[in-house]
Amino acid sequence: MSRLFFIVFIIFTVSCGEFNANTVGSESSISDGSPGDGGSSVDSGVTESVMKVNTLGVISQRQYLPKVKGCLGLDATSITAAELIEINALTANLSEEGDVKSIAAPTMMVMATLASKICSSLIKQEEKLDSPRFFKGYSFDKSKGQYDVVQTITLLSNSCSDRIVQPDEVELISNKVKEAFKEDSLKSAEEALFVCIAILSSGQFLLN
Amino acid sequence: MACILLLSTLLLFFQNCEDHSSNIAGTNEDSLNYRKTIALDISSDTKLLLKRLTGILLPEDDEFFIEVNNLVQNNMYEEATQKITERDEFYNITIRDFASKMSVASEVTTAPLSDFVATIIGIARDDINAQKMLTGSFFYKGKKQTGIRENVINDIVKSNNHYDDLDKLSVNLRLSLEKIDNQKVLSNNKMIDLEDAAGVLTSRAFMMAHAYEGTNRRVIEYSMSQFLCRPITEWANGQLSDAFVGRDIGRSPKVEYDSKCKSCHAPMDSFRPATAYFDFTFPNPKLKTGFINYKNKTTRDPNPEKPTQLSIVVAPEEQLVSSKFRRSKSTFEFGFVVKNNQWVNLLIESGKFEWSSAGAQGEGMKAFGTALSESNLFSECMAERAFKSVCKRHPTEGEASVIRAIGEEFRSSNYSLKKLFEIVALTPNCLGIQ
């Protein structure tokens, strides 16, 4: 598990590189590179930059569970009452209002812990499906499945982030998957968990 | 070892963020290229609108997502936002956070679910004119359901049990809330319909936050700061008459009174009689069973020397006025005596808050709520709060005209909260959507 967390945090550093800081008015805001960002116009004065900048927000306490349920298509029965209590206790450590300035080291730790819980529930749900939404071709019974990790990364990322995942990001995660599981070719369930945690604890998922 | 590694990686992560923050405006070539790539993503506006209005994202093969995305791709942004604001999450997350912040003095979104919060969610869902938020005589509660206490007197009027249960069971508020006409309060230990109901201003949660103990001045102060977005520092005015300043405010030393006390108390105390018949009582704070006491007839007040003794005779004309209005009355015996709920708006002369003529004077909380809701500042304040909620930042000073325009559109939409959020999301200053 610690190996997994380590790699997840390396991925954070890459995601962080995508943030573009901006100062607008009296507040310091960070834009997330979405279409409204307007690129070159941000240099042409405060008013112009205010017109085009979309301030970055992060996931808040009340948004976490509905967001993962929504983007992963988790059904009502996929999370048990006991798990729900645990998840609610953990989300209390997230930002109250989604203010980007509230990000701190504990936020990232909590994101990774929450991701591990949610991903376990997702895998349990996908396991029961004849045609899984994200883990197509994975075998969860200790045998090697026939699956495409790139497809899984792309599907998960695109569902849970507001932009299309970039090829270098997909490559980064898939390389880490290969590296981590090169000696354990039969552990496709663990691979699924690895990929899911990497995405749900990334900076891109944190944005809202 | 793993922990140390983890920690150092985290530190690296934040170091990287710091570096980026100091690169003002992100004009380097990489970021421009990155933006160009993103601009080609046809569904990014859909996702942006979805996550900012509801807090969630959906898989790209989700039926609802496809429907909204088609609207966005066909440049039907208004229709797309209208579709999004029909989702449960818009009410259960976004509107709930918007309302929670106004329900408590600390302005936090983590405030408990209450009659105040439920009523605002209900107003948004049923598309009721949001002025009713400050003038209506109704409240919202959850539908009957196993595990939810709903005795009106014990679980709604005297405690927050009903709303605590709704929250504990993660009830879908959008589906569960139902409107109940006539607010209820206790008067001389009997539950009655509140004749002077003023929407959420006379809700249990708002009164608990601002009318418990004290002198009811907080009710006025927070009504202005929550619903007009004007803290007392912005409406304090030393030029106003102090004819309505209460007996509990000392007038000496005069220089200090004139320069400090008077400017806040003159306008605040002139509104204060609106709350004359209201008090919030906590017989047992440990049990959290507190309630609004309305027109509770008091013939004797506590002796200031021995508070347990009720020995001070109350004049007949003051007996329906809460005893907190007679607290420390000997501090300045020539101060204003509150005998009923008639109030005067001294701020109207300043012309600063755009009051309507109906807001010059009135009787009770309903008239006070009406005065607030008819000020243009109310619609602009709601616009400002919705802006903060969707755009994740406060509007800048340079955006005052944008907020005024949104406020005007809100008014012309018959004060529709749902419409207000839709307008804000499509304002170019907010998400950059042109």
Query: Could you write out the three-class secondary structure of B196-262?
Result: CCCHHHHCHHHHHHHCECCCCHHHHHHHHHHHCCCCHHHHCCCCCCCCCCECCCCCCCHHHHHHHHH
Out of A35, A54, A71, the one facing B39 most closely (by C-beta) is: A35
Q: Is A107 on the interface with B (CB under 8 A)?
A: no
Mean predicted confidence (pLDDT) in A39-56 = 49
Is the distance from CB of B47 to CB of B72 less than 8 angstroms? no
CB contact under 8 A, A50 and B429: yes
Nearest-CA distance A102 → chain B (Å): 12
**Per-residue three-class SS string for B142-177:** ECCCCCCCCCHHHHHHCCCHHHHHHHHCCCCHHHHE
Nearest-angstrom CA–CA distance, B266 and B236: 8
Q: What does the pLDDT read at residue A183?
A: 65
* 3-class DSSP state of A40: helix
Mean pLDDT of chain A: 77
Instruction: Suggest the residue from A47, A161, A164, A168 to mutate for an interface test with chain B (most B CBs closer than 10 A).
Output: A164
Of B25, B52, B60, nearest to A43 by CB-CB distance is: B25
Please, which residues have CB within 8 angstroms of residue A29's CB and are 6 or more apart in sequence?
A: A22, A23, A53, A55, A56, A100, B392, B393
Min Cα distance B198 → chain A (Å) is 28
For residue A39, name the pLDDT band (cuts at 50, 70, 90): very low
Smallest CA-to-CA distance from B425 within B397, B406, B398 is with B406
How many whole angstroms separate alpha carbon A142 and alpha carbon A170? 25
List chain B residues with CB under 8 Å of A29: 392-393
pLDDT of residue A1: 45
Show the tokens assigned to B322. Answer: 């809460």
Tell me the backbone φ, ψ of residue B386, rounded to 5 degrees: -65, -35
- Between CA B312 and CA B335 the distance in angstroms is 19
What's the CA gap between B23 and B2, in Å, rounded? 32
Q: Between chains, do B10 and A108 touch, taking CB under 8 Å as contact?
A: yes
Mean pLDDT, residues A31-56? 47
Chain B contacts of A208, Cβ < 8 Å? Answer: 51-52, 55
Is residue B23 helix, strand or coil?
coil
Q: What does the alpha-carbon distance between residue B208 and residue B206 come to, in Å, rounded to a whole number? A: 5
A48, burial (CB in 10 Å: exposed 0-12, middle 13-18, buried 19+): middle
What residues contact A23, with CB distance under 8 A and at least 6 apart? A29, B24, B25
Q: Which residues contact A39 (CB under 8 A, 6 or more apart)?
A: B27, B31, B32, B35, B36
Q: Residues B427, B429, B430, B431: is their CA dihedral positive or negative?
A: positive
Contact A26 B2 (CB under 8 A): no
CB atoms within 10 A of CB B66: 14
Candidates B4, B6, B12, B388: best to mutate against A (most CBs of A within 10 A) is: B6
Residue B79, classed as helix, strand or coil, is helix
Count Cβ atoms below 10 Å from residue B280 Cβ, excluding itself.
Answer: 22
Whether the ω angle into residue A35 lies within 30 degrees of 0, i.e. cis, is no
Across the A:B interface, residue pairs with CB atoms under 8 Å apart total 213
**Contact check, Cβ <8 Å, B396/A24:** yes
Pull the structure tokens for residue A4. Answer: 């997994």
Percentage of residues of chain A with pLDDT beyond 90: 38
Q: Which two tokens stand for residue B347?
A: 């701020």
- Higher pLDDT among residues B157 and A23, named by residue: B157
pLDDT at res. A20: 36
Of B9, B56, B431, the CB nearest to A10: B9
* Per-residue pLDDT at A53: 65
Of B299, A161, A129, B416, nearest to A138 by C-alpha is: A129
What does the pLDDT average to over A163-177?
A: 90
Instruction: Per residue of chain B (434 residues), give pLDDT as tens.
Output: 333 333 333 333 333 333 333 222 333 344 334 333 443 345 688 999 999 999 999 988 899 999 999 999 999 999 999 999 999 999 999 999 999 999 999 999 999 999 999 999 999 999 999 999 999 999 999 999 999 999 999 999 999 999 999 999 999 999 999 999 999 999 999 999 999 999 999 999 999 999 999 999 999 999 999 999 999 999 999 999 999 999 999 999 999 999 889 999 999 999 999 999 999 998 877 777 899 999 999 999 988 888 888 889 999 999 999 999 999 999 999 999 999 999 999 998 777 788 877 789 999 999 999 999 999 999 999 999 999 999 999 999 999 999 999 999 999 999 999 999 999 999 999 988 87
The residue among B90, B209, B204 whose CA lies nearest residue B140 is: B204
Instruction: Name which of A28, A42, A109 is nearest B26 (Cβ-Cβ).
Output: A42
How many CB atoms sit inside 10 A of residue B297's CB? 9
- CB of B218 within 8 A of CB of B279? no
- Determine the Cα–Cα distance for residues B305 and B412; give it in Å rounded to an integer: 56
| Alpha-carbon gap: A72 to the closest alpha carbon of chain B (Å) | 7
End-to-end Cα separation, chain B, in angstroms = 51
Backbone angles phi, psi at B180, to 5 degrees: -120, 120
A37 interfacial to chain B (CB closer than 8 Å): yes
H-state helical runs in chain A: 2-16, 46-52, 61-72, 81-91, 105-127, 149-160, 167-181, 188-200, 203-206
User: Which residues on B lie below 8 Å from A20 (Cβ)?
Assistant: 20, 23, 25-26, 31
Residues near A34 by beta carbon (within 8 Å), at least 6 away in sequence: A54, A162, A163, B38, B44, B48, B431, B432
* A 46-85 near B (Cβ less than 8 A): 46-47, 49-57, 59-63, 66-67, 69-73, 84
**Helix, coil or strand: residue B313:** strand
**Cα separation of B372 and B356, whole Å?**
9
ipTM of the modeled complex:
0.78
The pLDDT of residue A29: 45
